[in-house]
């Protein structure tokens, strides 16, 4: 799959059978809904797109995720949920079979995933667990991580549900599971097995759980959602409602690049214009981007804008054209100069 933007003449909802939707930063942010998420997901489902909500957040059980989505008006059932806790248990089973004793560092999501798979759970290293499964939960503290360190030092296998350094909340970015895992690794000097995104297994297992079909991944994080999609050879849609900004997208290395771009989940309901290389530069819809002396210059809506120094506001197609031009420049071994913060205007 090419590491640049692709186009579709039909809406993505018509091109794909299954959407693998991230949650935090895509459908909601902490206790708040993400703009346009509910209407877009429900409209896509109404047009026949199947959905699986694939999340690196291991703190909630599938039932709890369903309830949280319902609070925002998004309908789902437990079969449509695949969490990093479930993925970690699938990974654990490849190394330590049930009914082995496993020390839980995390909340109900990790505990339930283990017990459903037939494992015996404990919260004490004194029970000589064969493995430790560590996932994010607000209850995780010094005592819980110390029990993990005791067990791992004594030979237990360490499995992390994911390695996300941060977690988006309504107040900003809080510590993610990866930051807590790093503390245990620092204490034990042993690297864990890691589940979740960006590893291909979570998407492969989520697709299998959902009955297969032509799938697209949707997410806000380049180094997890989209890196995982690249590793899985899946097309992906990036949205600007979470972690990675438009500027981040323009600077993305090939292994992190999305296949399609939009501001939010309305992108599922729209065609994606095909980028074209022309004599004037990279053209996407009515926007053209060209690169001169390491800087990107854009023509759109009757104006010319250079991406350098000052923050800028771009149309959606100008953003797409700028991304293709920036990636093309990077692939030629050149670097963008003074790339500013970029705001992408609402499409309607």
Whether residue 87 lies in the annotated active site: no
The separation between CA 72 and the C-alpha centre of its own chain, rounded to angstroms, equals 20
| Residue found by looking up tokens 């095909």 in the block | 274
C-alpha dist (Å) from residue 340 to 160, 307, 309, 322, 329? 36, 6, 5, 12, 16
| Among 165, 164, 338, 323, residue whose Cα is nearest residue 251 | 323
| Residue found by looking up tokens 């995982």 in the block | 228
First to last CA, the chain: 31
Whether residue 225 lies in the annotated active site: no
| Residue found by looking up tokens 């297992």 in the block | 205
Catalytic site residue from 22, 87, 137, 225: 22
The separation between CA 213 and the C-alpha centre of its own chain, rounded to angstroms, equals 20
Q: How far apart are CA 344 and CA 346, in angstroms?
A: 7
Q: How many CB atoms lie within 10 A of CB 251?
A: 18
Q: How far apart are CA 301 and CA 311, in angstroms?
A: 18
Which residues are registered as beta bridge partners of 330?
none
Catalytic site residue from 24, 137, 164, 328: 24
The separation between CA 99 and the C-alpha centre of its own chain, rounded to angstroms, equals 32
Decide the pairing of beta strands 295-300 and 303-307: antiparallel
Using CB atoms within 10 Å of the CB of residue 244, give its burial: 0 to 12 exposed, 13 to 18 middle, 19+ buried: buried
Contact of 305 with 298, CB cutoff 8 Å: yes
Dihedral angle computed from the Cα positions of residues 257, 258, 260 and 261, in that order, rounded to the nearest 10 degrees: -80
Contact of 295 with 336, CB cutoff 8 Å: yes
Q: How far apart are CA 225 and CA 233, in angstroms?
A: 12
| Residue found by looking up tokens 């017990």 in the block | 115
> Catalytic site residues?
22, 24
């Amino acid at each position: 799959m090419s590491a640049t933007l692709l186009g579709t003449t039909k809406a993505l909802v018509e091109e794909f059978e299954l959407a693998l939707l991230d949650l935090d930063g895509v459908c909601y942010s902490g206790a708040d809904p993400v703009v346009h998420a509910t209407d877009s997901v429900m409209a896509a489902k109404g047009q026949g797109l199947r959905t699986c909500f694939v999340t690196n957040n291991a703190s909630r059980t599938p039932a709890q995720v369903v309830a949280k989505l319902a609070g925002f008006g998004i309908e789902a059932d437990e079969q449509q949920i695949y969490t990093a806790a479930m993925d970690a248990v699938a990974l654990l089973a490849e190394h330590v079979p049930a009914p082995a004793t496993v020390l839980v560092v995390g909340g109900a999501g990790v505990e339930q995933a283990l017990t459903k798979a037939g494992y015996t759970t404990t919260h004490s290293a004194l029970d000589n667990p064969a493995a430790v499964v560590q996932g994010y939960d607000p209850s995780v503290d010094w005592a819980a991580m110390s029990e993990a360190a005791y067990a791992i030092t004594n030979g237990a296998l360490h499995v992390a549900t994911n390695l996300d350094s941060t977690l988006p909340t309504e107040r900003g970015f809080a510590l993610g599971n990866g930051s807590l895992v790093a503390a245990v690794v620092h204490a034990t000097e042993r690297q864990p097995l890691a589940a979740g995104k960006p590893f291909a297994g979570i998407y492969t297992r989520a697709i299998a759980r959902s009955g297969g079909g032509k799938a697209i991944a949707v997410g806000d994080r380049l180094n997890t959602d989209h890196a995982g999609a690249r590793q899985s050879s899946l097309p992906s849609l990036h949205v600007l409602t979470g972690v990675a900004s438009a500027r981040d997208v323009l600077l993305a290395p090939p292994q992190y690049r999305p296949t399609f771009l939009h501001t939010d989940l309305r992108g599922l309901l729209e065609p994606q214009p095909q980028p074209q290389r022309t004599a004037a530069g990279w053209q996407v819809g009515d926007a053209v981007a060209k690169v001169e002396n390491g800087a990107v210059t854009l023509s759109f809506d009757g104006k010319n804008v250079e991406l350098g120094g000052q923050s800028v506001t771009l149309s959606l197609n100008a953003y797409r054209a700028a991304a293709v031009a920036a990636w093309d420049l990077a692939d030629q071994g050149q670097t963008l100069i003074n790339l500013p913060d970029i705001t992408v205007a609402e499409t309607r």
